[in-house]
């Protein structure tokens, strides 16, 4: 993981860990194998963050330990490099205990703070793709019980293709219209049945859950008068902003 990933981490609010449930031979993995695949990817992220954070640590720790500052103030110059604010550092420190003596921090401390960052500040959401190929109901139940979200990118693409060809009126409700032939109607029914079974989520629903439930973002409308959907010139503003709760303008 290099500089491009570093730039992404600085800007992002959450990470979607998208897991392919097929092994190298194209066979569907069981729930335990899928879990291990997700853990392996996240382990790489944790180790990368810990390695970057601990760079030049001895000199950094010596300098910061020379003053009486609080731990969050000591860490800000390092953590801000990853797009993490002082308030977010305080959240991490309220969840996990770390020595204020930076000089005695060990590899275990760097890994612990790394896991804390990607749990409380930039959460990792585990998502399994190709839900249409996971045929066993037991496997689907086991995956969802582990807290994973299951999606089907191929089925989502099929829905958009159906919309573009005039076979459906809405991607939210992909019911075939009169122009669809029997084969197309059967295909759309198969897709609808998969999503209506509540084990496989729509991608839009997944992102809505991340934004509103996990990150607790709110929708902010940049209007001049809150009773009108316009700016001061009367122009209707279609754009909105997603912001954390308690944000100020």
pLDDT in tens, 9-64: 778 999 999 999 999 999 999 999 999 999 999 999 999 999 999 999 999 999 99
Q: Is residue 144 part of a domain?
A: no
Q: Does the CA dihedral 137-143-145-150 come out positive or negative?
A: negative
Global confidence as pTM: 0.84
pLDDT band at residue 220 using 50, 70 and 90 as cut-offs: confident
pLDDT band at residue 224 using 50, 70 and 90 as cut-offs: low
pLDDT at 216 over 70: yes
Do 111 and 35 belong together in one domain?
yes
Q: Is residue 143 part of a domain?
A: no
Chain-centroid distance of CA 219 in Å reads: 18
Under a CB-based contact definition with an 8 Å cutoff, are residues 23 and 34 in contact? no
Across 195-211, average pLDDT: 92
pLDDT, position 6:
59
pLDDT at 212 over 80: yes
pLDDT at 205 over 60: yes
Parent domain of 193: 153-199
Do 102 and 33 belong together in one domain?
yes
Do 190 and 228 belong together in one domain?
no
Q: What share of the chain is helix, strand, coil (3-state, %, to 5)?
A: 55, 10, 35
Among residues of the chain, what percentage have pLDDT more than 90? 72
**Closest Cα to residue 209, out of 126, 132, 116, 114?**
126
Do 64 and 165 belong together in one domain?
no
pLDDT in tens, 104-122: 999 999 999 999 999 999 9
Q: Is residue 148 part of a domain?
A: no
Q: Is residue 236 part of a domain?
A: yes
Instruction: Tell me the HSE value of 104 on the side-chain side, using a 13 A CA sphere.
Output: 4
pLDDT in tens, 157-186: 999 999 999 999 999 989 998 889 999 999
Do 15 and 120 belong together in one domain?
yes
Do 117 and 192 belong together in one domain?
no
Q: Is residue 147 part of a domain?
A: no
Under a CB-based contact definition with an 8 Å cutoff, are residues 221 and 237 in contact? yes
Determine the Cα–Cα distance for residues 18 and 149; give it in Å rounded to an integer.
Answer: 9
Q: Is residue 145 part of a domain?
A: no
Task: Work out the burial of residue 183: count CB atoms within 10 Å of its CB; fewer than 13 is exposed, 13-18 middle, 19 or more buried.
Answer: exposed
Q: Is residue 206 part of a domain?
A: no
pLDDT, position 221:
74
Do 44 and 97 belong together in one domain?
yes
Across 218-224, average pLDDT: 76
pLDDT at 94 over 90: yes
pLDDT in tens, 119-158: 999 999 999 999 999 867 788 889 999 999 999 999 999 9
Do 191 and 221 belong together in one domain?
no
pLDDT band at residue 248 using 50, 70 and 90 as cut-offs: low
Q: Last residue of a domain, which of 74, 106, 125?
A: 125
User: What is the chain's mean pLDDT, rounded?
Assistant: 90
For 39-154, strand residue ranges (E) read 124-128, 149-150
Do 112 and 32 belong together in one domain?
yes
Do 188 and 236 belong together in one domain?
no
pLDDT, position 5:
66
CA dihedral 119, 123, 128, 131 (to 10 degrees): 120
Q: State the total domains in the chain.
A: 3
Do 21 and 101 belong together in one domain?
yes
Across 222-241, average pLDDT: 70
In this structure, what token pair is assigned to residue 104? 């005695």
Q: Is residue 142 part of a domain?
A: no
* CATH code for position 29: 1.10.8.470
pLDDT, position 225:
64
Do 25 and 85 belong together in one domain?
yes
């Amino acid at each position: 993981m290099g500089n491009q990933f570093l730039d992404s981490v600085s800007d992002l609010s959450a990470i979607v860990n998208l897991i392919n449930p097929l092994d190298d031979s194209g066979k569907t993995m069981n729930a335990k194998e899928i879990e291990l695949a997700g853990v392996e990817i996240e382990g790489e992220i944790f180790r990368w963050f810990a390695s970057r954070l601990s760079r030049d640590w001895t000199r950094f720790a010596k300098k910061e330990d020379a003053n009486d500052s609080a731990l969050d103030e000591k860490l800000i110059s390092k953590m801000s490099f990853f797009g993490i604010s002082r308030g977010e550092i305080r959240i991490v420190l309220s969840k996990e205990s770390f020595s204020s003596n930076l000089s005695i921090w060990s590899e275990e401390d760097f890994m612990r703070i790394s896991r804390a960052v990607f749990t409380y500040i930039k959460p990792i959401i585990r998502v399994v793709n190709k839900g249409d190929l996971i045929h066993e109901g037991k496997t689907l139940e086991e995956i969802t019980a582990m807290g994973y979200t299951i999606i089907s990118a191929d089925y989502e693409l099929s829905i958009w293709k159906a919309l573009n060809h005039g076979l459906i009126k809405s991607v939210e409700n992909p019911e075939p219209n009169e122009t669809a032939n029997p084969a197309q109607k059967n295909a759309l029914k198969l897709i609808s049945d998969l999503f209506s079974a509540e084990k496989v989520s729509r991608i839009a629903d997944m992102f809505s859950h991340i934004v509103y439930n996990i990150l607790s973002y709110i929708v902010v409308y940049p209007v001049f008068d809150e009773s009108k959907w316009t700016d001061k010139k009367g122009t209707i503003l279609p754009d909105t902003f997603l912001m954390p709760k308690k944000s100020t303008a």
